[in-house]
């Protein structure tokens, strides 16, 4: 028997012959037969707010926020439908803001692919920059005690529309909702509060937890400072087809979508596994080691202490080069040293949150990586390079016993396992 692992744009085939393997995958849902018709229906009968076309006047300046290229949202399909529904609003009244958070800006070629050339070249598009103070403005003070600044075009807009997709998230419980703006278009100082070591280290900041999640609390407190007129969230299958629309008032629509995802994407396991094979869901999520921490985090929920997490992620964008993720890793002699440093009172640098998560995983288990990174870079990240996944499995089984149980997460963090 073979299993298809999501990897880059093509995937990998893994032979499971002779292995005691359990495949953990979300319930497959067919894509909607007519996505545009389903959008129109959802936009005209939304959850908890007026229809989209009734919410925006022809004279309004409208900010439309979308995620960046590290997320698989089909913005190239969604945006034309949104603009068609708002055909009474002149094109020049729209500004599309790409929510990069603390990531690098998207290139013109990436924007063409994300938005479609017709949209990218005929609408005003702004790449958010969290580190450029000249591009942000105050939205007010979070109930959690700090000022929140967003992209100026968002603050100045008359109306605001958020686009996103909902999946389990390793810190915020679920993606989607107010995450489009916080941290999507927030300034770095606000992001640092959201990603503080104590917030990230709280056991309630985890997959599938929503209402009592400290990270989600920051998301909602910051995101709700300015009124949002319409939230458009979708769920996707592994073919990047839209399976459901959750449109309307941000909190209500997001809660409905999260309940749906929790029922279809979380998998109960009766026991932990000494070996877990995972991915980072393929392109566009597995372009960097930074993002691949999510797939490792999903696997760490069910791996035995000291067990092996075998990760397949292309990492063609490297660590990546921007930010402090690589620096934090390379300056630490071990995962424990990295974790201790980040948890030191007063320590605060960009990207510490992802390094903290990686360190927490490595303190619990060994992690091997099949990727396009050089062996030297993999070793620098305190990981073990792998060039043949089946060979790596056989080597580990020879050490611990041929019949040892193995868990396979072929779609990575699109499936969130938990111990029942």
Are residues 51 and 200 located together in one domain of the fold?
A: yes
| pLDDT at 224 > cutoff 90 | yes
> What are 50-82's pLDDT values in tens digits?
999 999 999 999 999 999 877 889 999 999 999
| pLDDT at 218 > cutoff 90 | yes
Domain boundary residue, one of 264, 279, 302: 264
Are residues 140 and 217 located together in one domain of the fold?
A: yes
| pLDDT at 169 > cutoff 80 | yes
Question: Are residues 119 and 79 in contact, defined by beta-carbon separation less than 8 angstroms?
Answer: yes
| pLDDT at 102 > cutoff 80 | no
Are residues 18 and 116 located together in one domain of the fold?
A: no
Are residues 114 and 86 located together in one domain of the fold?
A: yes
Between these two residues, 386 and 265, which has the higher pLDDT value?
386
Domain boundary residue, one of 264, 289, 308: 264
For residues 244 and 266, give the distance between their C-alpha atoms in angstroms, rounded to a whole number.
17
Three-state SS for the chain is: CEEEECCCCCCEEEECCCCCEEECCCCCCCCCCCHHHHHHHHHHCCECCCCHHHHCCCCCCEEEEEECCCCCCCHHHHHHHHHHHCCCCCHHHEEEEEECCCCCCCCHHHHHHHHCHHHHCCCEEEECCCCCHHHEEEEEECCCCCEEEEEHHHHHCCEEEEEEECCEECCCEECCHHHHCCCCCECHHHHHHHCCHHHHHCCCCCCCCCCCCHHHHHHHHHHCCCCCCEEEEEEECCCCCEEEEEEECHHHHHHHHHHHHHHHHEEEECCCEEEEEEECCCCCCCCCHHHHHHHHHHHHCCEEEEEEEEEECCCCCCCCCCCCHHHHHHCCCCHHHHHHHHCCCCCCCCCHHHHHHHHHHHHHCEEEEECCCCHHHHHHCCCEECCCHHHHHHHHHHHHCCCCCEEEECCHHHCEEEEC
Are residues 157 and 278 located together in one domain of the fold?
A: no
Are residues 291 and 246 located together in one domain of the fold?
A: no
Supply the pTM of this predicted model.
0.81
Q: What is the CATH number of the domain that holds 17?
A: 3.90.226.30
Are residues 39 and 66 located together in one domain of the fold?
A: yes
Are residues 73 and 138 located together in one domain of the fold?
A: yes
pLDDT at 342: 92
Q: How many domains does the chain have?
A: 2
Domain residues for 47?
35-264
Are residues 255 and 385 located together in one domain of the fold?
A: no
**Cα end-to-end span (Å), the chain:** 27
> What are 299-340's pLDDT values in tens digits?
999 999 999 999 999 999 999 867 789 999 999 999 999 999
pLDDT at 340: 94
For residues 175 and 285, give the distance between their C-alpha atoms in angstroms, rounded to a whole number.
13
Pair of tokens at residue 275: 């070996």
Are residues 224 and 304 located together in one domain of the fold?
A: no
- Long-range Cβ pairs for the range 336-342 (8 Å, 24+): 336/363, 338/382, 339/363, 342/197
Q: What is the CATH number of the domain that holds 198?
A: 3.40.50.11440
For residues 242 and 81, give the distance between their C-alpha atoms in angstroms, rounded to a whole number.
14
Are residues 285 and 411 located together in one domain of the fold?
A: yes
Are residues 339 and 384 located together in one domain of the fold?
A: yes
Pair of tokens at residue 205: 């900041």
Domain boundary residue, one of 208, 232, 264: 264
Question: Are residues 293 and 361 in contact, defined by beta-carbon separation less than 8 angstroms?
Answer: yes
């Amino acid at each position: 028997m073979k299993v298809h692992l999501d990897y880059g744009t093509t995937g990998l085939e893994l032979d499971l012959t002779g292995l005691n393997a359990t495949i953990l995958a979300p319930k497959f849902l067919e894509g909607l037969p007519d996505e545009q018709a389903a959008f129109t229906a959802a936009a005209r009968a939304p959850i908890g707010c007026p229809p989209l076309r009734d919410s925006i006047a022809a004279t309004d300046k409208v900010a439309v926020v979308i995620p960046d290229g590290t997320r698989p949202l089909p913005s190239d399909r969604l945006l034309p439908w949104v603009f068609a529904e708002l055909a009474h609003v002149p094109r020049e009244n729209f500004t599309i803001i790409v929510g990069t958070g603390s990531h690098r800006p998207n290139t013109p070629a990436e924007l063409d692919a994300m938005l479609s050339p017709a949209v990218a070249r005929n609408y005003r598009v702004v790449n958010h920059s969290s580190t450029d103070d000249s591009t942000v403005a105050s939205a007010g003070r979070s109930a959690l005690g700090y000022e929140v600044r967003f992209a100026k075009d968002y603050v100045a807009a008359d109306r605001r529309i958020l686009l996103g997709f909902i999946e389990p998230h390793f810190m915020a419980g679920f993606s989607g909702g107010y995450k489009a703006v916080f941290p999507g278009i927030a300034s770095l100082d606000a992001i640092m509060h959201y990603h503080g070591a104590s917030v990230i280290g709280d056991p309630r900041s985890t997959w599938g937890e929503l209402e009592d999640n400290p990270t989600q609390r920051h998301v909602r407190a910051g995101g709700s400072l300015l009124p949002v007129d319409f939230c458009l969230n979708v769920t996707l299958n592994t073919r990047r087809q839209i399976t459901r629309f959750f449109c309307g008032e941000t909190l209500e629509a997001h809660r409905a979508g999260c309940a749906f995802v929790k029922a279809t994407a979380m998998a109960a396991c009766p026991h932990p596994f000494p070996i877990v094979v995972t991915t980072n869901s393929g392109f566009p999520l597995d372009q960097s080691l930074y993002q691949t921490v999510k797939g490792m985090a999903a696997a760490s929920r069910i791996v035995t202490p000291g067990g092996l997490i075998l990760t397949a992620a292309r990492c063609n964008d490297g660590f990546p080069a921007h930010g402090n993720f690589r620096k934090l890793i390379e300056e630490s002699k071990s995962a424990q040293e990295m974790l201790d440093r980040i948890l030191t009172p007063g320590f605060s640098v960009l990207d510490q949150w992802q390094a903290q998560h990686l360190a927490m995983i490595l303190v619990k288990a060994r992690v091997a990586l099949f990727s396009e990174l050089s062996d030297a870079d993999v070793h620098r990240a305190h990981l073990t390079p792998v060039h043949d996944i089946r060979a790596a499995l056989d080597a580990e089984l020879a050490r611990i016993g041929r019949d040892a149980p193995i868990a396979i997460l072929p779609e990575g963090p699109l499936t969130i396992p938990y111990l029942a």
